[in-house]
Amino acid sequence: MIIPFEIVRNISGYLLKKEMLECLTVCKSWYRAMFESLYGSVTIKTCGSFRAFLYVIAHHELTPGKFVRKMELYIEDFNERPVTFTEFELLTRYCINLHELLFSHNKYWRCMNELNLSNVWLHLAKVPISRNRLSLQVCNKMKDRLQEVVFFEHDQSIMSFISSPSPKLLKAEITTRFLLLKTSTVKSLHLCAPRLQELSLMVCMENINETNAAASVIPLIEKHNNHIQTLKCIIHHPDSAWFPIIKSTYHNVDKLTLVVNNILPKLPGYTARRYTKFEIVRSIIDLIKSTDIRQLNMDFRYVDDISFMQAATATLLYDHCNESTNLKTSVSVKSSFAVPDDFDYSCRFKSKLTTTLEQPGQQKVVRQELDYQFMRDPDEEDEDNNVSEVDLLEYAIIRPINKLVVELFLDVGIGGEFSWSSIITKKRAIYFDQILNYFSNLESLTLTSTFYEFCGSCLQNDIRFTLSTSSTKVNYKFFKCLTVNCVSVDKCIFQFLFKNCPALEELTLIDCQLDEVTVLILECLSLESDVLLDIKQDDSKKLLI
The stretch 219-239 carries a mean pLDDT of 94
Phi/psi for 91 (5° steps) reads -60, -40
CB burial class (10 A; 0-12, 13-18, 19+) of residue 183? buried
pLDDT greater than 70 at residue 459: no
More confident residue, 413 or 242: 242
Question: What are the pLDDT digits (tens) for 298-343?
Answer: 998 877 778 888 888 888 877 665 555 556 678 899 888 776 664 5
Out of 93-97, 107-111, 362-366, least confident range: 362-366
Q: What is the C-alpha to C-alpha distance for residues 99 and 68, in angstroms, rounded to an integer?
A: 8
Question: What are the pLDDT digits (tens) for 110-146?
Answer: 999 999 999 999 999 999 999 999 999 999 999 999 9
Contact 247/291 with Cβ under 8 angstroms? yes
Out of 51-65, 155-169, 385-399, 485-499, least confident range: 385-399
Helical H runs in 369-479? Answer: 389-396, 432-438
CB burial class (10 A; 0-12, 13-18, 19+) of residue 61? exposed
pLDDT greater than 70 at residue 427: no
Is the torsion defined by CA of 258, 262, 266, 270 positive or negative? positive
Q: What is the pLDDT of residue 425?
A: 41
Q: What is the pLDDT of residue 9?
A: 57
Q: What is the pLDDT of residue 12?
A: 61
Q: What is the pLDDT of residue 308?
A: 84
Phi/psi for 221 (5° steps) reads -150, 145
Question: What are the pLDDT digits (tens) for 381-399?
Answer: 544 455 788 888 898 898 8
Instruction: Please give the mean pLDDT across all residues of the chain.
Output: 83
Q: What is the pLDDT of residue 457?
A: 40
Q: What is the pLDDT of residue 421?
A: 40
User: For the chain, what are the domain ranges?
Assistant: 1-39
DSSP letter string, 193-206: -TT--EEEEEEEEP
pLDDT greater than 50 at residue 543: no
Question: What are the pLDDT digits (tens) for 472-490?
Answer: 778 899 999 999 998 889 9
Contact 336/357 with Cβ under 8 angstroms? no
How far, rounded to the nearest angstrom, does the alpha carbon of residue 402 sit from its chain's CA centroid? 26
Return the SS3 of 277.
helix
